[in-house]
Chain A
Amino acid sequence: MALAPARPAVLVTGTASDSHTWNLVLLQLFLEELGHPVSNLGACVTHELLVDGCRRHRPEVVVIGSVNGHGYRDGLAAVTLLRAEPDLAGMRVVVGGKLGVDGVRSLQDRGRLLAAGCDAVFDDGSLTALREFLAALPARVVTA
C-alpha cells in the first residue's frame, strides 16, 4: 500500500541563464531520500516555464539552484516573478548554490532576495541548512 507523501512536495529548478544540472540532479536525490516528492524542471528555466511549472506541480516549496555566478540576479528575478502571482502566494521559495562570480557571499544581495519574498537563502550551498529549513516547516494542513 502506498503511503501518502508525508513531506511537502518540492519543485527543484535552475535559473533562466544557468545550464548547470549536476546540482539539480543531486538536490532531487537528496530531497527524495528525505521523503519529499520532487519534480525537477532542469536547467535554463525561463520565467514562463517556472510559473507554468508551479501551476502544474503545485509544490509547497520551490528550491531554486544556481552555480553559474548569476544566481543572485537570476534568483531575484525568479522570486520577484513568483511573488507577483497571487495564486502561488502560499509557496515557500528558497534560493541556493554558488550565487556570485567571486566566491564571496554578498550580504546586500542576500538581503535583496529576502526582501523580495525569498524564505531562505543558502548562498553557502549547504544541504544541511536546507534539510534543517525543510524539517522546521510546520506540518502540512491537509484539506479535504
Chain B
Amino acid sequence: MTAPAPSLGRYVAAAAAAGGLVVQPRMGFGDPRHMRAGLVGTRDAAAVTVGTVTIDSYTRVGDPAGARRALAEGGALNGYPIVSHPAAVTRSLLRGVHGPGFPVQVRHGSSHPEAIIRALTAVGLDATEGGPVSYCLPYGRTPLRASVDAWARGCELLAELAPPPRVPHLETFGGCLLGQLCPPGLLVAVSLLEALFFVEHGIREVSLSYAQQTSPEQDREAVAALRRLAAEFLPPDVHRHIVLYTYMGVFPSSAAGADLLLRASARLAVRSGAQRLIVKTPAEAHRIPTVAENVRALESAAAAAEAEVRSPADRLEPDSEVYAQARTFVEAVLELGTGTGTGIGEALRSAFARGYLDVPYCLHPDNAGRSRSFIDDRGRLRWSRTGAMPVAPDLAPAGTTADLTSSQLLAALHTMARRFDLAAEAAAPTGTAGSARAAHRTRSGAPTRPTAPPRPTPSPRPIAPTRPTTRTSGPGAGSPAGVRPPLPGVFTPSRTTDDGSRDA
C-alpha cells in the first residue's frame, strides 16, 4: 500500500498536531503573474499557510468567454479565470510554489463546478470548496435540482481526476451561505449535510466550514456542534477538519476595526478548536485586497492565534441550543431521504421545496423565503419567523416585527461593522481611527499592487508544516512573528484592548 500523498487535510492535521492554526487568504487576481505573486506572498508569510486561488465571477456563472473578453480589453477581474487561461499558464504560475509543503485550494462559488474541477485537477491541484446548496443559493439562480446533479458529478469527477495517491479534498461552504443574519443551527446543519453529500459521491477527505457570526459564545457552540455532528454522522474513516471563516458579512470600514474583528476570529478559531482559518483584510468593506494586505492579515491572525491560550476545557454544554437546532434540521432532511434510495442531494432539494430549510433573506427562487432572523440583546442570532422549518421562532425584540424596515435591516447588517469600528475608535488615541479609515477607503493611500515579476523558484517547505518564528524574506525579514511594525496610519491595539466581543 502506498502512503497517501500529502493533502490539504493531512497538512492541516500535521499543523494541528504541532499546536498551530493554519491560516489562508481569500485571494484571486485575473493576471497570472499577479496570482503567482499572491501565492508566493502567502507561502512566505510568517504563519502556517495554505494558498488560495479564488475564481472570478464570469467563470463562476459559466461564462469563460466573458472572462477572456474582460482580460483582452485590459479589464480587472475579481478572481483568477482558471478555465480561460491555458493549463500551461496555470501550471507555470504554480510551479515551485504549490507542493507538499504548500497546499493550494481553489475557491469558486459555482453551481456548475465541472469545468473548474477539470481545470484544477489538470494542473495538479486536488483541493477545492463548494456544495450543492451553498454554491447554489447564495450564488445566483441555478435551480437547486440542477446544482445537486452538477455537484454530484463534480464530486465524482474530482475523485476520478485526482486518483490515488492524490487525495481530493472538498470543503463545505454550507457554514457560510449568504454570509450574515442566518442563525448558526441552520449553517451547521447545511455544512454537515454537504459533507455527507461529498462522501456519498466518493470524497474521503473533507473540511466542514463555519463562518463567524455575531456572538462568540454562540459561535463556540456552533463549532462544537459541527464537530460533534460530524463524529455522529460521517463514516469514521473520512478524514475531516473544521475550518472557520472570519466574519463574512458587512465588514468594519476602519482598518483598525477590521483588524480587531480578524483577531477576534483567530481567537475564536483557537478556542473553539477549529484547525484552519480563512481570513479577511482591512480592505474588505471597500475593494479587492492587495497581496500585501492579505499577507499582513495572515500574519495578524496567526499572531493573535498564537497569543491565545488554547483551553481544552472549553466548558460548553454538550447539548447546546445550536446543537439541538442543527440536529433537528439534519434529522428532518435525512428523514426525507429514508427509504427513497435517492440520497442526500434529493433530500436537500426536497427539504428546500417544503421549506424545512429556509435561508433568511435569500432571494433564490428555490428558497421558500419565509424565515426571518434577528440579533438578540446578547448578540445571538435567532429566528423571528421560521415558516415551515421544524424549529420554533423566538420573540422579535420589542418595537419590531419579523419584517424589518430598510434602516432596521441596514442596522442589522452593520452590527459587526459598527461594534468593531466603535471598539477601534474607543481604543485609538483621538484622531487615529478616523485617519486609518480614510487611508483605506481607496487604494490611493494604501500599498500599490505588486507589479514586479514574481520571485524565482523557492525551496520547498518541509512536509510537516512548522510554524516559522521569523520571516524568511520580504519587508521586516528577521522580525519575530507577531511583532510587526504598525501599518502606516493604523493604530495597532494592544492585546489587552477590548475587541468589542461580548464574552469576556
Chain B residues, CB < 8 A from A25: 361, 363, 409
- Whether B61 sits at the interface, judged by CB under 8 Å, is yes
Nearest A residue to B142 via CB reads A44
Q: Mark the stretch among A50-58, A84-92, A95-103 that contacts chain B.
A: A95-103
Nearest A residue to B283 via CB reads A103
- Whether B483 sits at the interface, judged by CB under 8 Å, is no
Nearest A residue to B29 via CB reads A101
- Whether B350 sits at the interface, judged by CB under 8 Å, is no
Whole-angstrom distance between the alpha carbons of A73 and B77 in the complex?
Answer: 10
Given A22-B178, A43-B363, A101-B287 in contact, is the A16-B63 Cβ separation under 8 Å? yes
Cross-chain contact A29 with B406 (CB below 8 angstroms): yes
A-B contact count (CB 8 A): 94
Whole-angstrom distance between the alpha carbons of A104 and B449 in the complex?
Answer: 14
Chain A residues, CB < 8 A from B77: 69-70, 101
Residues facing B in A1-45 (CB within 8 A) are: 16-19, 21-22, 24-26, 29-30, 33, 40, 42-45
Cross-chain contact A30 with B406 (CB below 8 angstroms): yes
Cross-chain contact A33 with B60 (CB below 8 angstroms): no
- Whether B378 sits at the interface, judged by CB under 8 Å, is no
Interface string of B55-98 (1 = CB under 8 A from A): 00110110100100010000111100000000000000000000
Cross-chain contact A101 with B409 (CB below 8 angstroms): no
- Whether A68 sits at the interface, judged by CB under 8 Å, is yes
Nearest A residue to B140 via CB reads A44
Cross-chain contact B141 with A26 (CB below 8 angstroms): no
Cross-chain contact A26 with B287 (CB below 8 angstroms): no
Cross-chain contact B57 with A73 (CB below 8 angstroms): no
Residues facing A in B123-168 (CB within 8 A) are: 138-141
Whole-angstrom distance between the alpha carbons of A33 and B404 in the complex?
Answer: 11
Interface string of B160-203 (1 = CB under 8 A from A): 00000000000000000010100000000000000000000000
- Whether B405 sits at the interface, judged by CB under 8 Å, is yes
Select one of A18, A30, A33, A40 contacting B363, CB under 8 A.
A40
Whole-angstrom distance between the alpha carbons of A102 and B60 in the complex?
Answer: 20
Chain B residues, CB < 8 A from A100: 76, 287
Select one of A29, A44, A69 contacting B76, CB under 8 A.
A69
Given A17-B57, A101-B76 in contact, is the A22-B361 Cβ separation under 8 Å? yes
Residues facing A in B401-416 (CB within 8 A) are: 404-406, 409-410, 413
Given A26-B410, A69-B76 in contact, is the A17-B363 Cβ separation under 8 Å? no
Whole-angstrom distance between the alpha carbons of A73 and B362 in the complex?
Answer: 25
Q: Is the interface of B mostly helix, strand, loop or mixed?
A: loop
Whole-angstrom distance between the alpha carbons of A3 and B283 in the complex?
Answer: 46
Interface size on B, residues (CB 8 A): 37
- Whether B441 sits at the interface, judged by CB under 8 Å, is yes
- Whether B286 sits at the interface, judged by CB under 8 Å, is yes
- Whether B442 sits at the interface, judged by CB under 8 Å, is yes
- Whether B443 sits at the interface, judged by CB under 8 Å, is yes
- Whether B38 sits at the interface, judged by CB under 8 Å, is no
Chain B residues, CB < 8 A from A33: 405-406
- Whether B234 sits at the interface, judged by CB under 8 Å, is no
Minimum CB–CB distance from B286 to chain A (whole Å) comes to 4
Chain B residues, CB < 8 A from A24: 363
Whole-angstrom distance between the alpha carbons of A43 and B409 in the complex?
Answer: 19
Cross-chain contact A17 with B405 (CB below 8 angstroms): no
Minimum CB–CB distance from A137 to chain B (whole Å) comes to 20
- Whether B109 sits at the interface, judged by CB under 8 Å, is yes
Whole-angstrom distance between the alpha carbons of A68 and B139 in the complex?
Answer: 12
Chain A residues, CB < 8 A from B139: 19, 43-44
- Whether B288 sits at the interface, judged by CB under 8 Å, is yes
Chain A residues, CB < 8 A from B361: 21-22, 25
Minimum CB–CB distance from B262 to chain A (whole Å) comes to 19
Cross-chain contact B442 with A103 (CB below 8 angstroms): yes
Give me 14 other A-B pairs in contact (C-beta within 8 A), A42-B141, A44-B139 excluded: A16-B61, A21-B138, A22-B178, A26-B409, A26-B410, A26-B413, A33-B406, A42-B363, A42-B365, A43-B140, A68-B57, A73-B70, A103-B287, A104-B287
| Chain B residues at the A interface, C-beta cutoff of 8 Å | 57-58, 60-61, 63, 66, 70, 75-78, 109, 138-141, 178, 180, 283, 286-288, 361-365, 404-406, 409-410, 413, 441-444
The 29 listed contacts between A and B (C-beta, < 8 Å) are: A16-B66, A17-B66, A19-B60, A19-B140, A21-B178, A22-B180, A22-B361, A24-B363, A25-B361, A25-B409, A26-B406, A26-B409, A26-B410, A29-B405, A40-B363, A42-B141, A42-B363, A42-B365, A43-B141, A44-B139, A69-B287, A70-B58, A98-B287, A100-B76, A100-B287, A101-B77, A102-B442, A104-B443, A104-B444
